[in-house]
Amino acid sequence: MRLAIAQVPPLDGDPPANLRRLDQLARRAHDCSAELLVLPEMFLTGYVIGRQRILELAGSYHREVAEMATRYHLAIAYGYPERKGATVFNTVGVLDQAGTRLLDQRKIHYFGQLDADQFDPPPRRPPQVVSWRGWQIGVAICYDIEFPETARALAVAGADLIVVPTANMIDYDQVQHLLLPARALENQVYLAYANYCGSDTQHEYGGLSRVLAPTGEVVATATRDPTILVVEIDRDRLTACRQRHSYLADRRFDITLR
């Protein structure tokens, strides 16, 4: 499968501008023969915009994203605020190349007071895996991937690829350098990490978006600057890694680890 990973600065509180930018990114991904475009966390609205603005913007613009998926024959994973009545969640939607919604995954682990102030706690349900073009795909949103249980739950559910839309700040580069390789290797999965670069009113984002192989190796990485990574992931490499590293099969369930 060919992935396109978009690394861009946040555009806060301006969904029309983000949709125009999405159209440009989707066109570039299509021109590179990508099959799946992965965008950062809360891409449609921006991340640090406050609860009231999130509530005003939540749940809109999905039709336009679906039209782009169809126009460019491209699956899209994008962050957006999901509203249910008076509650709102930090969510990533995954659409296939026909604009059909495959998955809406809500963020499980909230990062500090920022997330707690803007979003309601998500329902207690495990992350989901969907099948697309012979690949099993799961989503972990930003801070979620820093907990081994999230990636492990997706791997046990059958994930081959975990996409990670994120808004990771520049002070936390250890996530990209240390945690992502471990998550990929210990679960024998590909990881596609799409981060912001630049800054908003509160944070400077670190970029370093990347794709990691199930060996833990970095297949491709961005710098701090805006870019779009186009990367091939390979089924044979995944199979070979799973034959060599049998962590999932070798886990012990007959004892309690405390």
The C-alpha torsion from 173 through 176 and 179 to 185, rounded to 10°, is -160
d(CA 116, CA 110) in angstroms, rounded, equals: 6
* 176 phi-psi bin (left φ>0, alpha ψ -120 to 50, beta other): alpha
Write down the catalytic residue from 41, 82, 146, 241: 41
241 is an active site residue: no
DSSP 8-state symbol, 169:
B
Write down the catalytic residue from 142, 146, 197, 241: 142
Write down the catalytic residue from 35, 82, 107, 146: 107
What is the helix (H) or strand (E) element at residue 208, kind and residue range?
A: none
CA distances from 234 to 22, 30, 187, 194 (A): 26, 19, 16, 19
Query: 157, 168 in Cβ contact below 8 A?
Result: no
Q: Which residues have a Cβ under 8 Å from the Cβ of 20 and sit 6 or more positions away?
A: none
41 is an active site residue: yes
142 is an active site residue: yes
User: Tokens 């596609």 appear where?
Assistant: 192
Catalytic residues: 41, 107, 142
